Chains A and B, each alone.
Chain A
Amino acid sequence: MNVKWRLGMFFIAGACFLFFYLIAARNLPPWGHYPGPYGDVISSLAVYQRHATDVVNAIDYDYRGFDTLGEEFILFTSIIGVMLLLRDPKPRGGTAESDEGLSKTVKVSAGGLFGITLIFGLYICTHGQLTPGGGFQGGVIVATAFMLVYIAENLRRFKAIASHPLMEVLEALGAALYALVGVSALAVGLPFLTNWIPLGTTGDVFSSGTIAIISASVGLEVATGFILLSYTYLQDIVSGREE
């Protein structure tokens, strides 16, 4: 089937989609006039029921915690898939990586930003139950801090951190901790992923029970996962050149 045929079929299918989509969209709530009631109910209840002030994270790590567990395992298996596919880099030509690529200004700035970025990422990971943030966002920021090591130093230094066996252990631990928190509810005779840990004072960092623990475990999983991901790709590019 050539491009012309494919385009023809696309225009027919696209026109059909647009026709039915616009009929459906007319019955959606008009833009800016969300009618409720689910969002309003959960907004007014989450602070009292879960002692978490960020309702979005209370939904993600508690009310729909089972879904998020599934999403986290999509992330987990995708990263394993990348590492599996790129486990054996083939030489591809090109020149070997040199450490002279970046100017001193860039290297010094990146080095200075490492600590700030790491602390900020850990802050976002651990305060998801109070303010916008949580494990998914904080984990990516923590991973960025380690990529700054690659910019400030060189690939060898980044490799020394990222290829450490502990990195894979921590990634698996992050994924396992979420499931273990869920199973721990079964151990005390409650349904899977029930928020059974004492909820604490609203607004406190150690509040909202399992939400804070799950958020931190997701942060660990995402941070180590993204470090492994960037390491795998860098390894593929560089060893493809050197050999």
Chain B
Amino acid sequence: MLAFHLIPYAVAAWLFLCGLYGIVTSGHLVHTVISLVVLQTSTYVLLLAVGFRWGAVAPVFADISPGVVTVDPVVQALMLTDVVVEATVVALLLAMVVKVHEKAGTLSPDDLRMMRG
């Protein structure tokens, strides 16, 4: 029974480690950025799992009466804004990747070792 209750937390850990593995072994900068996105989705799984409640409804009181048991709205609010903000941050990282390719002519992190003034 204990293992069942740990399932979403295990999924979050799995996503986190998958993303980290991708970053560590990455041979292409676009792949590194996408791995970071995978890593970050683990936080969504973790947050939503903490606030979930069996048999509860969404915290929107437009068509339910006040006092009905709902899932935790705080964790949902935490991740809601981040979904859109993350997309723009990824766009910024990819713009940096474009510039790296222009300046260095390569996208492999291993070939970017030397510093140039």
Q: Which chain A residues have a beta carbon within 8 Å of chain B's beta carbons? A: 3, 6-7, 9-10, 14, 17-18, 21-22, 25-26, 28-34, 36, 38-40, 42-44, 46-48, 53-57, 59-60, 64, 67-68, 71-72, 74-75, 78-79, 81-82, 85-86, 90, 130-132, 134, 136-137, 139-140, 203, 222, 225-226, 229, 232-233, 236
Of B58, B61, B72, B82, which is within 8 A of A38 by CB? Answer: B72
B80→A78 contact, CB < 8 A: no
Binary contact readout B30-60 vs A (1 if CB under 8 angstroms, 0 otherwise): 0000000000000000000111111010111
Q: Which residue of B lies closest to A140 (CB)?
A: B84
B89→A78 contact, CB < 8 A: yes
Of B4, B10, B80, which is within 8 A of A56 by CB? Answer: B80
B53→A7 contact, CB < 8 A: no
B17→A85 contact, CB < 8 A: no
A39→B51 contact, CB < 8 A: yes
Tell me the interface secondary structure of chain B in the complex.
helix
Binary contact readout B80-108 vs A (1 if CB under 8 angstroms, 0 otherwise): 11111100110110011011001000000
A64 proximity list for chain B (CB < 8 A): 77
Report the separation of the CA atoms of residues A232 and B61 in the bound assembly, to the nearest whole angstrom.
40
Of B7, B9, B74, B88, which is within 8 A of A39 by CB? Answer: B74
Distance (whole angstroms) from the CB of B79 to the closest CB of chain A:
10
B80→A7 contact, CB < 8 A: no
Known: A18-B13, A31-B7, A85-B98. Is A53-B21 also a contact (CB below 8 A)? no
- For this complex, 20 residue pairs linking A to B, each with C-beta atoms less than 8 Å apart, are A14-B17, A17-B13, A17-B17, A18-B13, A22-B6, A31-B4, A31-B7, A34-B72, A38-B72, A40-B70, A42-B73, A46-B73, A78-B89, A78-B92, A79-B91, A81-B92, A82-B92, A85-B92, A203-B62, A229-B88
Of B71, B81, B88, B102, which is within 8 A of A34 by CB? Answer: B71
